[in-house]
Amino acid sequence: MKRKSNLFFKTLNLLYGEGVLEDIILIGSWCHYFYRFYFSNAPEIPLLRTLDIDFLIPNPPKIRKDVNVPEILNSLDFIPSNNYLTGHTKYVHPELELEFLIADLGRGKGNKPYQIPKLHINAQGLGFLNLLQWHTIKVKYEDMIVVLPEPAAYVFHKFIIQERRLNKEKQKRDLSSAKEIGEFLLQSKTQQKKITDIFD
């Protein structure tokens, strides 16, 4: 896991250095690392990390700089992998896979990816991601700032999508992590209020 962690942080640092990281949201299980850090190394938050790095592009995109993200990823030996049925591209490394996602709003675009010209990438549209983009926090970690979903929004999202998972192992993992983080949040009055506000 250490090698994967090193590559993960190298990727974040390069994206932050180019001004990309402030305009996108880190989602998925790598959030757990930063949630634990945000809550003063709380052991109740499971350090569940996978081979996937998922970034959410807010919809509509609000990208401030023109940055060639594929070139940045290529410098770390990520190779673009194209799905010729959908046109969506993810970036594959022997240690990690990186994917850009975007909330499918309204009728969505079906299987067609969303083009993000300023970043020179496309993003796969998925449902239920609007919850994550509407409620975010910024975590200062070492020399960078990472944008994450509010932990309460992350928990609600996991509960929503777990029952739609076709992969039973991922379904079980989603449910377990949502319960553990949710139970931890309920110990704080501040987080209780955020849970209620987001639920409403």
pLDDT tens figures, 26-77: 998 999 999 999 999 998 998 876 789 999 999 999 899 999 999 999 999 9
How many domains does the chain divide into? 1
Q: Three-class SS of residue 122? A: strand
Greatest mean pLDDT among 4-13, 129-138, 153-162: 129-138
Judging by DSSP bridges, how do beta strands 25-27 and 52-57 pair with one another?
antiparallel
- Residue ranges making up the domain that contains 85: 2-150
Amino acid at 76: L
Q: Is residue 112 part of a domain?
A: yes
Instruction: Please give the model's pTM, rounded to 2 decimal places.
Output: 0.91
For residues 56 and 129, the answer to whether their CB atoms sit within 8 Å is yes
Q: Is residue 59 part of a domain?
A: yes
- Band (108; pLDDT cuts 50, 70, 90): low
Q: Which two tokens stand for residue 187?
A: 């110990």
The Cα–Cα gap between 160 and 157 comes to 5
Q: Is residue 194 part of a domain?
A: no
Q: Is residue 119 part of a domain?
A: yes
Alpha helices (H) in the chain, listed in sequence order = 2-17, 31-38, 69-74, 130-134, 151-162, 168-185, 189-199
Q: Is residue 175 part of a domain?
A: no
Measuring CA to CA, which residue among 6, 32, 4, 19 is closest to residue 149? 32
**Res. 104: pLDDT tops 70:** yes
**Res. 109: pLDDT tops 70:** no
Partners of 125 in the beta sheet?
A: 102
- Band (85; pLDDT cuts 50, 70, 90): confident
| CB within 8 Å of 160: residues ≥ 6 apart | 128, 131
pLDDT tens figures, 161-183: 877 766 677 778 888 888 999 99
Q: Is residue 182 part of a domain?
A: no
Residue 196 exposed, middle or buried by CB count within 10 Å (0-12, 13-18, 19+): exposed
Q: Is residue 70 part of a domain?
A: yes
Q: Is residue 34 part of a domain?
A: yes
The Cα–Cα gap between 22 and 138 comes to 9
Dihedral sign for Cα 24, 196, 155, 161, please: negative
**Res. 103: pLDDT tops 70:** yes
Q: What is the CATH number of the domain that holds 111?
A: 3.30.460
